[in-house]
Amino acid sequence: MIPSHRSATPPVGLSLLLPGFQGTPYLATRIEPELYHLLLLPREWPLYSQLNVAFRQAETNRLPTHFLITPDSSLWLQPCGAVVPARAEPREVAITFGKLQPCDILPVDIDLIERYGALKQYVRERGDRTVGCDPDQGGWIPSTEELEGYDGTSRDGVPAGLERCEECGEWGGACLAPGRIDPLVLPVSCLCENVSECARCNEPFYERRLQSNWYDEDDGALHSVPGLHALEHVCPE
């Protein structure tokens, strides 16, 4: 397996634009840049129980997850395992819920029922939104070292930065996005790196890693894998 997603040093004093729903505590999982999935957590739980579910959910889903403790305080649980405290600032984004199953069956009380009612009303008032896939395909702006190291292709035409996985035979790593005026590094995942799983059944959301890309050796092209596939998953009975 060739690691495709880089680990960055967590920033300090960060402010993040997150869903403006006030019914904390909850997890906000970024499915696409303009779409978040919300999972409400019981208020009666002590903080350590809320954190336990938050960390387990983020670790299994391997999608960008934010634990909103209060409407203006959050923890950013990154797929690489880093935890970043951040100020939460409200942002108008599309919201969905009830799709990503929690790692445990959460106890239902009056407060949770009322907050889910408020969440439904919050979503209803904002109407339907058209949500597109990430135009950056999970990529990032390259450093000077990355720009030099990922320049060009191999003799076989494979983008620089990709290596063949000894386990599955596919290509993985990271490379420059082709055909862009502004350089962008794209994560490329082989089949072995499909680590985005449902927290309830521990089955992969999709046949390939979400919010990443895969290299098709036959046509020499990169193909994006949208995070939207996570919402299509149904746990086996």
pLDDT at 5 over 70: no
Question: Would you place residue 131 in the very low, low, confident or very high pLDDT band (cuts 50, 70, 90)?
Answer: confident
Residue 136 lies in a domain: no
Q: What is the pLDDT of residues 163-176, one digit of tens each?
A: 999 999 999 999 99
pLDDT at 55 over 70: yes
Q: What is the pLDDT of residues 94-106, one digit of tens each?
A: 999 999 999 999 9
| 176 and 80 co-located in one domain | no
Residue 4 lies in a domain: no
Residue 138 lies in a domain: no
pLDDT at 4 over 80: no
The pTM assigned to this predicted structure is: 0.88
SS3 of the chain: CCCCCCCCCCCCCEEEEEECCCCCCEEEEEEECCEEEEEECCCCCCHHHHHHHHHHHHHHHCCCEEEEEECCEEEEECCCCCEEEEEEEEECCEEEECCCCCCCCCCCCHHHHHHHHHHHHHHHHHCCCCCCCCCCCCCECCCHHHHHHCCCECCCCCECCEEECCCCCCEEEEEECCCCCCCCEEEECCHHHCCCECCCCCCECCCCCCCEEEEECCCCEEEEECHHHHHHCCCCC
Which domain covers residue 120, as residue numbers?
A: 14-126
| 107 and 150 co-located in one domain | no
What's the number of domains the chain is made of? 2
